[in-house]
Chain A
Amino acid sequence: MAERYVMSIDQGTTSTRCILFDHGGRLVSVTQREHKQHFPRPGWVEHDATEIWRNLEQIGPKALAQAGIGSGEVAAVGIANQRETTVLWDRHTGIPVTRAVVWQDTRTDMLVEELSRRPDAYIVEELCGLHVATYFSAPTIRWLLDHTPGLRERAERGDVLFGTMESWLIWKLTGGPDGGVHVTDVTNASRTLLMNINTLSWDDTLLDFFGVPRAMLPEIRPSAQTYGAATRVMPGVRIAAALGDQQAALFGQTCFAVGEAKCTYGTGSFLLLNTGHEPIRSTHGLLTTVGYQIGDEPAVYALEGSIAITGALVQWFRDGLGLIGTAPEIETMARTVDDNGGCYIVPAFSGLFAPHWRSEARGIIVGLTSYITKGHLARAVLEATGWQTREVVDAMNADSGLNLRTLNVDGGMTANNLLMQFIADVLNVPVVRPMVAETVSLGAAYAAGLAVGYWPDLEGLRRNWHRAAQWLPAMDPALRAREYDSWQRAVERTFDWIKPHEE
């Protein structure tokens, strides 16, 4: 038995990682490399897709070496990726035509406003389940086509290709200009604003609406299916899965049943709820998205609540204020006091995401008195993540008609015990961390392993899931209600800060 591991590539916003998992879903080796963040103008965020590819060329073989195996012992590789980030490249040279435009980039805000005002704009949400916003790919593609001389013609001829990061890496891995496979998966395609959420194919009405030529788009494939074999980095290994990172986490958490939800706590945080084979339309500010699709089986849909700033607030506390040296020290500082001292921080750094969707809101610190110390501020930083989770869970309960019973958590912030306890307290449900906190990578590995028969079925994957930690709610209900009320009043105070066209 030569093939013993599955590799996942997690192409994230700040770094790319390769992880090898064994048959028990256990982590065998990890390699990682950060890439540069380019901020050429205010509001612009770019990555160099070639740099990311080169990083993968390094860390892929390194992960194998660390585990002491060859690529022959890798059954399959799956990719999880930062979603929506847009790469355009020349199909003949394999060179990106511009730097990749990252999901956080807001250069398309005017275009988005213009598009949203069109009388036929209602059709977008109806067809794809998302509203027009800067971080989805379609406005970015349109912007690049409009602002790069000659690009539209090249795109129409099919000389320039579009892809999110998984498309780019799959194309490069399978040979690039030399026979590279140009595909995306349903979860990533569901974040472009160009895919019909019911038919799971590119929609001509949407392509027309955004002015995106069909010739540049990848073929939409299931999340778990062999797309091709790598010819580079790990020659011969089958590339058998791709999922957007948050959908990968849902899969890695084995949230396979309707009503199961996970929240991944990172720079931002993303709560996804499995809603089964029918897309549910939100009336409370959540997004309808594809959760995953295994081979030819029907797709599974999800409701998504995204919170822009959670871990990023801790980073700001570290880098912007310099009050701590490393992110985990926030817990140490927060534990120097017993409560928030009446202080609340609402991190609406670039507006508020779900469920408010207020782009004109800006962050505030309220309740300052001479009593407040940096310890209280540290608590307020952590509590902001808890309350933002509560707002999204309330919206999900209302939309789905289900009451969340347990929250499965993962991501870097789950190492923070104070925060996890606070989330259990404010949600009033148990918070559970699974044994593999790396659920994004695990989800991609699971999907790839499933596609090639390394794991037999979903039940087999479920058996790999184990509880590593659990936090039970312990907050007095009256205190919870009072604190939530204070938080909500703090949130209201962030609204209407930026006036139209002021920026």
Chain B
Amino acid sequence: MPGPVQSIERAAAILRLLAQGSGRLGLSEIANSLGLARGTAHGILRTLQMVGFVEQDEATGKYQLGAALLHLGTSYLDVNELRSRAINWADALAARSGEAVRIGTHLQGKLLVVHHVFRPDDTLQTLDVGVLLPMHATAMGKVLLAYDANAAAAVPDGDLEPFSRRTIRTAKELTRALSGIREVGWAADVEETTVGEASVAAPIRGYGGLVVGAMGISGPIERLCDPHNRPRPDLVTFVRDAARAVSRDLGAPRW
């Protein structure tokens, strides 16, 4: 059993300090109060600032508690914000893969489509932003189940709703599939939602590696998969690279 992590203890002390009194303190005041070297206190404050727990007043340079702390209980990243931050990389993924791109988040046991880029062949397609899809039968949904404990907890016990012959049917089967997804870092749906259709998705992460959504491509099985119905490795790489690029922009650590 490892001992307590010193920097987390110190970060907690800084937050407690800022939560008291006037709530606005300078670097020296914070460092002196906690008996820390200025450099140490500054490093911790900068990290807390990066994750939004602390804000620095531009004029005075003083620190105060950040707005993100107040919203800890609610959604971590606004879905419209997510779309806005991901839009360039989603476009690039569609252009590179030649397939339609979607970004999804978890909403009350379903997968909510928050962004959709058309397949770049200029055929007639309809935006399906706002549509709800099943979690256990889509690549994006399975990614969220694999990495988001709350999403996984929202899956009902018992048998899962079948959409095709290949849909995952039991909780046990799902658990096995999710651990496989965590191992490789991406998920696929091969005819699990619709016969003849496949999708590939990877997680989008924010600060600290927290998964905030999933990003993926979907299309006909003969384009997305090899003759053995396995997703084409080049497409998987495109999807993972794009999701990583969005994550990097959102402040996720490299992985």
Residues on the B chain within 8 Å of A414, using CB:
87
Query: Is B9's CB within 8 Å of the partner chain A?
Result: no
With known contacts A332-B79, A417-B127, A436-B95, A469–B88 Cβ distance under 8 A: no
Is residue B169 contacting chain A, with contact meaning CB distance below 8 A?
Answer: no
Annotate A413-442 by CB proximity to B: 1 below 8 A, 0 otherwise: 011110000000000000000011110000
- Chain A residues with CB under 8 Å of B211's CB are none
Contacts of B127 in A (CB 8 A): 417, 469-471
Q: Are B94 and A437 in contact (CB under 8 A)?
A: no
Question: Are B84's CB and A468's CB within 8 A?
Answer: no
Q: Are B120 and A435 interface neighbours, CB within 8 A?
A: yes
Q: Is residue B83 within 8 Å, beta carbon to beta carbon, of the partner chain?
A: yes
Residues of B close to A326: CB separation below 8 A: 78, 81, 84
CB of A474 to closest CB in B, whole Å: 12
The segment from A24-32, A225-233, A399-407 found at the interface with B is A24-32
Q: Is the CB of A26 within 8 A of B88?
A: no
Distance (whole angstroms) from the CB of A384 to the closest CB of chain B = 18
Q: Please measure, in the bound complex, the distance between the C-alpha atom of A466 and the C-alpha atom of B123, giving whole angstroms.
A: 10
Beta-carbon contact of B122 and A467 below 8 Å: yes
- Nearest CB of A to B132, in Å: 15
Q: Are A26 and B96 in contact (CB under 8 A)?
A: yes
- Asked whether B83 lies within 8 Å of A415 as measured between CB atoms, the reply is yes
Binding site of B, secondary structure by majority: helix, strand, loop or mixed?
helix
Please give the number of chain B residues whose Cβ is less than 8 angstroms from any Cβ of chain A in the complex.
24
Does any Cβ of B come within 8 Å of A363's Cβ?
Answer: no
B239 to chain A, nearest CB (A): 15
Contact with A along B69-108 (1 / 0, CB 8 A): 0000000001111011001100110111000000000000
Interface hits, B128-160 → A, CB 8 Å: 129-130
Does any Cβ of A come within 8 Å of B67's Cβ?
yes
Residue of B nearest to A28 (CB): B92
Identify the closest chain A residue to B249 (Cβ): A30
Which of A326, A468, A470 has the most chain B CB within a 10 Å cutoff? A468
* A179 interfacial contact with B, CB 8 Å: no
Q: In whole angstroms, what is the CA distance A438 to B83 when docked?
A: 15
Interface centre among B80, B117, B129 (most CB of A within 10 A): B80
In whole angstroms, how far apart are the Cα atoms of A330 and B84 in the complex?
Answer: 12
Determine whether the beta carbon of A435 is less than 8 Å from that of B80: no
Cα–Cα, bound, A438→B96 (Å): 16
Is B186 located at the chain interface by the 8 A CB criterion? no
Instruction: Give Cα distance in the complex from A24 to B120, angstroms.
Output: 12
Q: Is residue B116 within 8 Å, beta carbon to beta carbon, of the partner chain?
A: yes
Distance to closest chain A CB from B72 (angstroms): 14
Whether A159 is near chain B, meaning CB under 8 Å from some CB there, is: no
Interface presence of B53 (CB below 8 A): no
A331 within 8 A of B: yes
**CB atoms of B78 and A328 under 8 A apart:** yes
* Contact call B80/A329, Cβ cutoff below 8 A: yes
Chain B residues, CB < 8 A from A436 = 91, 95
Q: Name the CB-closest residue of A to B129.
A: A417
Quick check: B88 and A438 within 8 Å, CB to CB? yes
Contact (Cβ within 8 A) A328 B120? no
A244 to B91, CA, bound (A): 24
A-facing residues in B35-77 (Cβ within 8 Å): 67
Complex Cα–Cα for A27 and B129 (A): 23
Nearest CB on A from B78, distance (A): 5
Q: Which residues of A contact B117 (CB under 8 A)?
A: 435, 468-469
In the complex, whether A342 has a CB less than 8 A from a CB of chain B is: no
The interface residues of chain A lying within 8 Å CB-to-CB of B116 are: 469
CB A33 to nearest CB in B, in angstroms, measures 15
Q: Are B79 and A435 in contact (CB under 8 A)?
A: no
Q: Is the CB of A26 within 8 A of B118?
A: no
Residues of A within 8 A of B79 (CB): 332
Task: Provide the bound-state CA to CA distance between A325 and B87, in Å.
Answer: 19
Can you identify 7 A-B contacts, CB atoms within 8 angstroms?
A412-B84, A415-B87, A417-B127, A468-B91, A468-B94, A468-B118, A471-B127
The chain A residues found within 8 Å of chain B, CB to CB, are 24-27, 30, 325-332, 412, 414-417, 435-438, 466-471
Partner-A contacts on B (CB < 8 A): 67, 78-81, 83-84, 87-88, 91-92, 94-96, 116-118, 120-122, 125, 127, 129-130
